[in-house]
Amino acid sequence: MTQHWSAPSASGPVHSTVPVPGSKSITNRVLVLAALADGPSTVHAPLRSRDTVLMAAALSSLGVNFADREDGGWDVVPGLLRGPADVDCGLAGTVMRFLPPAAALAEGEIRFDGDPHARLRPMATVLGALRSLGADIDGDALPFTLHGTGSLPGGEVTIDASGSSQFVSGLLLSAARYDKGVTVRHDGKPVPSLPHIDMTVQTLRSVGVRVETDANVWHVEPGTIAARTWHVEPDLSNATVFLAAAAVTGGEVTIPHWPAETTQPGDSVRGILERMGCTVSVSERGLTVQGPAKLSGLDIDLRDESELTPTVAALAALAEGQTIIRGVAHIRGHETDRIAALVNEINALGGNASETEDGLIINPVPLHGGVWKAYADHRMATAGAIIGLLVPGVEVDDIGSTTKTIPDFPGMWNAMLGGGA
């Protein structure tokens, strides 16, 4: 069910401290590793959103035990993976790309499906790779069925991962449990969002998995995955939306517990906002952004942090001067074609945006209110909320899509505008 929402306008500069829930990317990587570990694990401060709940439910259906903790975390006890099972991927790329390599270790039939648009998302690369490694799979996109035998030979595979870094991460996460491990070679255009692969490698190494990397080659040795206690970082990509509120209103927003070191691509927002005229500082309070009197446009390549494209595009539509976003052709295969969607929605509000082969160009002009379509895409929905801060009458047609990564975005947004901590 879609949920229409009138995006509130800011009455003045926004001043707030906004605690942000855990990282979706880290949470779903941790859940897969905890499910395949050699003993029980504890996960503190995970994100509890649609994508992560779908991951936990999928792993539970395969025999992994999840126990809720009073602090909002999970105790995870691995089990003997087995079907039959039905996996609902929703619209979560991490579920549809990370779960099949893990499910290939199960015994029995595992059926995968998801939301209608999920059936359009690229899957042939990871499914073809799994077949090369010994898996028996019917289909090249959702819905598909995996026929598990309880193990997978593994070995070497060459793929074109230019469509998504998740193709590489999905294969690496479960590779230590394959008989021969896995060597993944990329052959194609540059891999987007490389920091997400770095995140996967770092997470694997933290549980004792031996990973070797070279240019476009990743090798995981077979072996055990150690159980451990996890503490999930705040989701920095989600945090950027709230920092954007300070940027466009000339206010000040602080995100507590910003990590000193991280592999999350969202950390790059610091440099992006500085280039647009913001003042960015880190203290014991967290990361603080102070917005300028007026934002400046910029020319930027977002290949490695492409998930920030909707936020940057929303900022650009409210800035002074042209913005060119490059290097993000692959986001046409995300929850929706984000390039086309951003251009359509900015122009529907009277803007001047155009598509390029690998991004978009935004020339700021005065905007007016109207319906901002989310396309069932959480980051499209939050981009509409940002524009609504300065443009009265913006209505996001599906704010419910934000539950994919933020459990209560409207509540957090309203609390921020009210100055709530």
User: Known binder of ligand: residue 338?
Assistant: yes
For tokens 């880290």, the residue is 26
Q: pLDDT per residue over 110-156, tens digit each?
A: 999 999 999 999 999 999 999 999 999 999 999 999 999 999 999 99
Indicate if the pLDDT at residue 33 is higher than 50.
yes
Are residues 383 and 1 in contact, defined by beta-carbon separation less than 8 angstroms?
Answer: no
Alpha carbon distance 155, 299 (integer Å) = 42
Report the percent of the chain where pLDDT is more than 70: 99
Q: Any known ligand binding at 93?
A: yes
Q: Give the total residue count for the chain.
A: 421
Mention every residue, 6+ apart, whose C-beta is less than 8 A from residue 411. Answer: none
Mean pLDDT, range 192-196, rounded to an integer: 89
- State the Cα–Cα distance between residues 101 and 26, nearest whole angstrom: 17
Active site residue 156: no
Residue 374 has pLDDT above 80, yes or no: yes
- CA 393/CA 282 separation, integer angstroms: 35
Report the pLDDT value the prediction gives residue 421, as an integer from 0 to 100: 41
| Mean pLDDT across the chain | 96
245's tokens: 């509120």
Q: What is 330-396 written as a DSSP string?
A: GGGGSSS-HHHHHHHHHHHTT--EEEETTEEEE-------EEE--TT-HHHHHHHHHHHTTSTTEEE
What is the rounded CA–CA span in Å between residue 330 and residue 154? Answer: 28
Partners of 110 in beta bridges: 85, 146
User: Of 307, 320, 335, 355, which residue is the catalytic one?
Assistant: 307
**111 has binding-site annotation:** no
| 206-263 residue pLDDT tens | 999 999 999 899 999 999 999 999 999 999 999 999 999 999 999 999 999 999 999 9
Q: How many whole angstroms separate alpha carbon 21 and alpha carbon 26?
A: 12
**pLDDT tens sequence across 10-25:** 999 999 999 999 999 9
CA distance 225 to 241: 35
Domain spans in the chain, listed from the N-terminal domain onward: 5-21+233-417, 24-231
Number of Cβ within a 10 Å radius of residue 181: 20
Any idea which fold 5-21+233-417 has? UDP-n-acetylglucosamine1-carboxyvinyl-transferase; Chain (3.65.10)
Does domain 24-231 sit in CATH 3.40.50.150? no
Give the pLDDT confidence of 314-326 residue by residue, as tens digits. Answer: 999 999 999 999 9
| CA proximity to 335, closest of 51, 100, 118, 28 | 118
Two domains, one topology: 5-21+233-417 and 24-231: yes
CA-CA-CA-CA torsion for 141, 143, 149, 152, nearest 10 degrees? 30
Output Rg (C-alpha) for the chain, integer angstroms.
Answer: 21
180 is in an annotated binding site: no
Which two tokens mark 2?
Answer: 């879609």
Task: Tell me if 29 is assigned to a ligand binding site.
Answer: yes
Looking at residue 420, its pLDDT comes to 45
Return the C-alpha torsion angle 10, 345, 115, 51, nearest 10. Answer: -40
Q: How far apart are CA 339 and CA 175, in angstroms?
A: 33
Longest dimension (CA), the chain: 62
Is 193 annotated in a binding site? The answer is yes
What proportions of the chain, in percent to the nearest 5, are helix, strand and coil?
Answer: 35, 25, 40
**Proportion of the chain above pLDDT 90, given as a percent:** 94
Which amino acid type is present at position 213?
A: T
Predicted structure pTM score: 0.88
> Does the pLDDT of residue 287 top 50, yes or no?
yes
* 294 has binding-site annotation: no
Instruction: Give the phi and the psi of residue 300 in degrees, each rounded to 5.
Output: -145, 140
Contact present, 410 and 388 (Cβ < 8 Å): no
CA torsion through residues 147, 151, 153, 157, sign? positive
Asked if 256 contacts 242 with a C-beta cutoff of 8 angstroms, the reply is: no
